[in-house]
Amino acid sequence: MRATVLLSLVVSVFAATTSTKHHGHTGHHTSSTTAVTKTKTTAAVRTTTTTTAAVQTTTNATAAVVPQTTTTTTTTVATSAAVKTALATTTIASIINTSGACVVSSYAGFASCASSTKILIQGPFTVPAENVINLSLKSGATVILSGTVTFAKSTTLTGNDHLLTVTGSGITFESDPSNQGILYGNGQLYWDGKGANGGVNKPKFVSIRTTGSTFKGIKVINSPVHCFSIGGSSNLIDGITFDNSAGASLGHNTDGFDVSGTDITVQNSWVHNQDDCLAINNANGVNFLNNICIGGHGASVGSVQSGAVVENVYIQNITIADSDNGVRVKTVYGATSGLVSNITYQDITLSNIAKFGVVVRQDYLNGGPTGKAAGQLPIKGLTLKNVHGSVTGQSVFILCATGECSEFNFSEIAVAPVKASCSGISPAPTGC
């Protein structure tokens, strides 16, 4: 039974008691802020933030209005010793203007801010079990996250659900530098070593489906499974911290950034997880810049499935430490169509990589690689430049189906010890 309450400007609160849910820079949208209830449901990086957000101020008579604040703060993120020299100090200016913001200080408070173009989410508060937040925002809206929003453990939300979904055009979603915005997913209550492949139901965390928007400075802790699912177009993801280090033993499928969109940039971010730091699945024009990846499966293109196209990807100045893989390109075994083209990895530092420093394979299946490449999904125009560091497994591993890999250009490959295996690619690139 689903009861729907309609408020001004299409604000909806859904209460479901028995059902189960399954798995450009311009635009104009009819917008609402929706709270949804479902019963189915290691380098120290020091960042001084000083960013100016010039936004429209809207006063909502039914909501609290906060005075203008101007704050400069310094945030220190501690990482493992393996990457102590990986990233230089980054200084970003940041001034957050909260004047005129509609304040959300509880889960129920989202409804009263539906018509606002500036929203202050003021933690701490908890989103009740079996609930998610859907923010369908007005064009040009600014959302400021201050303090911690905790999501209580749900039992009926599945991998087809996201705990937080953001849609809209020209959105700015940023942390309050005086009180860092934190999304706490309670992943430790879900982790069972099976991830999305079984066990208890596990929702994904954040879905971004926006155009021409910026997400900045947010910290995410303990995602049940996949952290950020990024789609849409012309979006900037900047200065994100994703800390799933507590999931080292039982966390699984905790991808950092899953990207499928156009003109997406992810930069200046820090990820400690148990799966791909980056996974690009169906996208054109992706930049992954100045990031640190710890504990996972590397910076990946793929796994690319039949019909998917990944083109024009630039991955630069990345440190990958204590991970299974470093550079990783993977297509699904037996794929019958699609394309991977014009992919560049440059200035990649590897430290303590367990399996492969560089791996390109066309035998990928979710249950594990087949060991035999097959498919009709070409990989062409793969450039690697200045990839260096240490592995305990193989430095380079390439397994391509006959005729499906071409135009590989590797230079300045210094991954030690050198132990390579390359098949299905001719001529073999440097490092093989």
Q: Which residues are catalytic?
A: 297
Q: Could you tell me how far CA 174 lies from the centroid of its own chain? A: 15
| 45 three-state secondary structure | strand
Rounded distance, CA 137 to CA 171, Å?
A: 8
258 contacts 220 by C-beta, under 8 angstroms? no
Rounded distance, CA 295 to CA 243, Å?
A: 10
Structure tokens at 238: 């900047």
DSSP 156: S
Rounded distance, CA 58 to CA 64, Å?
A: 12
Structure tokens at 22: 């399954």
Residue 78, Cβ neighbours under 10 Å: how many? 11
Q: Could you tell me how far CA 74 lies from the centroid of its own chain? A: 23
- Please identify which residue in the block is written with the tokens 């930069």: 267
Rounded distance, CA 185 to CA 80, Å?
A: 22
241 contacts 219 by C-beta, under 8 angstroms? yes
Rounded distance, CA 383 to CA 353, Å?
A: 20
Q: Which has the closest alpha carbon to 114: 144, 134, 92?
A: 134
Query: For the range 188-195, what are the long-range contacts, defined as Cβ-Cβ under 8 Å and sequence gap of 24 or more?
Result: 188/222, 188/246, 188/247, 189/153, 190/153, 190/224, 190/225, 191/224, 191/247, 191/250, 191/251, 191/252, 192/250, 193/249, 193/250, 193/252, 194/252, 195/225, 195/251, 195/252, 195/253, 195/254, 195/274, 195/275
What residues pair up with 74 in beta bridges, in sequence order?
Answer: 48
Q: Which has the closest alpha carbon to 340: 408, 394, 287, 424?
A: 408
